[in-house]
Amino acid sequence: MALFDHFKKKEKNISGGNGTDAASLSGLIDFHPFDTDLPSRVRAFVQEYQNRVPEPKPCGRDEFIALLSGIAALRKTPGIPGPDQIPFTALPKCGSPEDEASCREHLERVFGITDKTSLLDFCQHEILCNRQYMDFAAFWEGRPPFGLEELNEQALEFFKTARDFSAQFYPIIGRRGYLAWDISECMGHLRNAYACGLISREDFDDLTAHWIDQTHVFNSWVEFAASLLCGELYWDFRHGTKLPELHKGLDLYLKLTSILLDSDTAWGSGMWYAPPHNGKS
Cis (ω within 30 of 0) for the bond into 275?
Answer: no
Q: What is the DSSP letter of 85?
A: T
Element holding 64 (H helix, E strand): helix 61-68
Task: Note the pLDDT of residue 281.
Answer: 65
φ, ψ dihedrals at 57, nearest 5°: -125, 140
Are 91 and 195 contacting, i.e. CB atoms less than 8 angstroms apart? yes
Are 172 and 226 contacting, i.e. CB atoms less than 8 angstroms apart? yes
Task: Note the pLDDT of residue 277.
Answer: 62
Burial classification of residue 188, based on how many CB atoms lie within 10 Å of its CB (0-12 exposed, 13-18 middle, 19 or more buried): buried
Is the pTM value of this prediction over 0.95? Answer: no
Calpha distance 191→199 (Å, rounded): 10
Task: Note the pLDDT of residue 276.
Answer: 79
pLDDT tens-digit profile, the chain (281 residues): 333 444 445 544 444 444 554 446 778 999 999 989 999 999 999 999 998 888 899 999 999 999 999 999 999 999 999 999 999 999 999 999 999 999 999 999 999 999 999 999 999 999 999 999 999 999 999 999 999 999 999 999 999 999 999 999 999 999 999 999 999 999 999 999 999 999 999 999 999 999 999 999 999 999 999 999 999 999 999 999 999 999 999 999 999 999 999 999 999 999 999 887 655 56
